[in-house]
Structure 1
């Protein structure tokens, strides 16, 4: 056997091993039963009964804040960035809550994507999510809410996106404003979500912020590891299945001050666990829905308390364990034909971030990027065909 053949086989074996390890890590199950780490102060007007958690537990790789967080004696947390005065490569962002007239306007449809790692330069796949939302929802206002007070302009992408998509808004927030007066204020000020006990403070903050932001303004929330392929502006008070008996909070719409959002926040405040991946996200919303809807098994079409559960095809057309399919060649390049009835395709970043995308190789992800986030894809592949 030639040395070239041996090297080729080794490369293939290595890639296959990465796929299998990633899938195993995602599918591994555990058991959870924990005590509340902070005092319980807030109560829902409709107290929850004890809810048995039927959802699988997963292990995952660690997620940490990329930039330092500072915390004062009152429990307020903020991102710190060192930047020189007059630095033209950084754009200082406006505070979302100063745009109240716009997001509270009659008939406004708000769409939220949230960055919680204090990163002033999000990666191109995140920008792809933002761009696809702006492209597919011209009737909506797309708010990219960053915990970083500044965004990096050095590669030119931000300027291009803002020029092309007039419905796109890049903003920052004061976390005190986000959580003040909500059932999550106690949890936020406790610091439990970014203490030494947790491996993923950015994910914890995301699970908290998405509920509070939609509570304040009403609208559609989306994670940053999706590509939007159809308008979501027709949706009202919905959340989607991810897999059997598990609802995912990666995409949802609720009206401002919706009672279900309040229940999600109260439950999270009372049952927050810093040590178990997924407990503060999918398992929180799933446990609440089982309790409120009085159903042991969650299913598509289930409606209660003004909330409807959509089929997994709506937001998760490919299940997590089949994630590598996004990075393989596809014979069907039309995403609407490939994923009928889907609003977004969810690529499960905690697995897919280790999988490369090759420009013009014909994979699902690249074909979707070509159509729904062309500016982000173009810049991502400017110096390399792999992104």
Structure 2
């Protein structure tokens, strides 16, 4: 027999030790019972993870406000760091985005599964008093009724969006603004707008009641079909299309001024009536080539709004960005442009869109040369004298910094109340 190694002899002596025997016996018991305990532990952990996942996704889609989430989180045995991560996950969730490169059948099946979560398509507890709250605001002797739509998260309502609201009230201090948004209809949203609310400006943030808005309009049947799950929602995120619909429907119901949230307002819009702006003109005929619905001013129940809603319902295409928005208003106005009974004024591009989206970046830059300075002075003079608004084309300019001394900085300085974070992108 081979000679035993020193290590083997050491283990052998240890095995005869009472202490070693006790430890070994305890280890055997642990492994015997661990197999029974693990399924229970795993099951509980999976259940808690599922609950956390449901909490972090549902409010972002439903837009139920952050108060509910906070109260639920306070009852959970989690650390502050975990709670913060859950809240961040909720705020950072994208709007409803369909699967990438899905077929029509796959997309429709996916949409049917998502339908129960889409509170924006329902009249719920937050929106059932919709009409009463809006009427209460408009009873405040408003100089004009303004509307904005915000279907993204409250966290993404940033300095540029705040600037739009701020500059609106610099030109129309006695106006009343309704922001249709479930995410901003929350403590966080109120906190963002607090500097303006504290100054007494008439702002109502309200969760939109889409079924109420489209009731008895041509779009009512369209919404019912969408909710049935038998319609392809398209490859473009649905919230883009719903924003196009809400702006048309709210103008039809109440009348007033619809505005996108990426403008600087330079003049009071309250004197305008039944107006829409051209984005571009045909250089040969000098007639408008493309309209844009980022600014629309209409009386309630105007017949053109009925035509817009009819066009939306009958030609909806969820696969093309802008098809149900700026392209829609252009299609309809092209058909009725010579019909005087509509009594619509189409403003030239310099009224609302004085700078094309391709050239917008130059307005953000500080002049570096004498030629730049001359251009800036001339541009500033032209815009100030001829334009009601400047569209910032946020898809193009959101990441641009407004440099001190730029045309944009000088325009803003004369058209804001709070003027906070002006130079933040």
Structure-2-length-normalised TM-score: 0.62
Q: How far apart are 1:113 and its partner, in Å?
A: 1.2
- Work out whether residues 133 and 142 of structure 1, in 8 Å CA contact, stay in contact via their aligned partners in 2: no
Deviations 1:36-67, CA, capped at 9 Å, x for gaps: xxxxxxxxxxxxxxxxxxxxxxxxxxxxxxx9
Equivalent position SS for 1:211: helix
Return closer, same or farther for 1:200/1:255 CA change in 2, 3 Å cut-off. same
Paired positions, count: 299
Deviations 1:124-164, CA, capped at 9 Å, x for gaps: 11111111112211232122221326335489542211011
Q: 1:318 aligns with which of 355, 360, 370?
A: 355
Q: How far apart are 1:255 and its partner, in Å?
A: 0.3
- 1:79 correspondence with 2:114: no
Identify the residue that residue 391 of structure 2 maps to in structure 1.
346
- Pick the structure with more strand per residue: 1
The 5 Å alignment of 1:89-104 reads 96-99=130-133, 100-103=135-138
Return closer, same or farther for 1:184/1:104 CA change in 2, 3 Å cut-off. farther
Identify the residue that residue 164 of structure 1 maps to in structure 2.
199
Q: How far apart are 1:323 and its partner, in Å?
A: 1.7
Equivalent position SS for 2:396: helix
- Work out whether residues 204 and 280 of structure 1, in 8 Å CA contact, stay in contact via their aligned partners in 2: yes
- Work out whether residues 110 and 141 of structure 1, in 8 Å CA contact, stay in contact via their aligned partners in 2: yes
2:137 & 2:380 partners in 1: Cα distance?
A: 32
1:120 & 1:180 partners in 2: Cα distance?
A: 31
- 1:364 correspondence with 2:407: yes
2:167 & 2:173 partners in 1: Cα distance?
A: 11
Indicate the structure whose relative CO is greater, using CA pairs within 8 Å and at least 6 residues apart.
1
Q: 1:243 aligns with which of 239, 262, 280?
A: 280
Q: How far apart are 1:184 and its partner, in Å?
A: 1.6
Identify the residue that residue 223 of structure 2 maps to in structure 1.
188
- Work out whether residues 225 and 348 of structure 1, in 8 Å CA contact, stay in contact via their aligned partners in 2: yes
Give unmatched runs, 5+ long, in structure 2.
1-55, 74-86, 88-124, 282-288, 368-372
**Mean Cα displacement is larger for which, 208-217 or 193-202?**
193-202
- Work out whether residues 351 and 388 of structure 2, in 8 Å CA contact, stay in contact via their aligned partners in 1: yes
Identify the residue that residue 416 of structure 2 maps to in structure 1.
373
* Aligned CA-pair RMSD: 3.4
Equivalent position SS for 1:319: coil
Give unmatched runs, 5+ long, in structure 1.
1-66, 71-76, 296-302
Q: How far apart are 1:307 and its partner, in Å?
A: 0.9
- Work out whether residues 97 and 173 of structure 1, in 8 Å CA contact, stay in contact via their aligned partners in 2: no
- Pick the structure with more helix per residue: 2
1:153 & 1:371 partners in 2: Cα distance?
A: 28
Q: 2:296 aligns with which of 248, 252, 264?
A: 252
Structure-1-length-normalised TM-score: 0.68
2:236 & 2:147 partners in 1: Cα distance?
A: 25
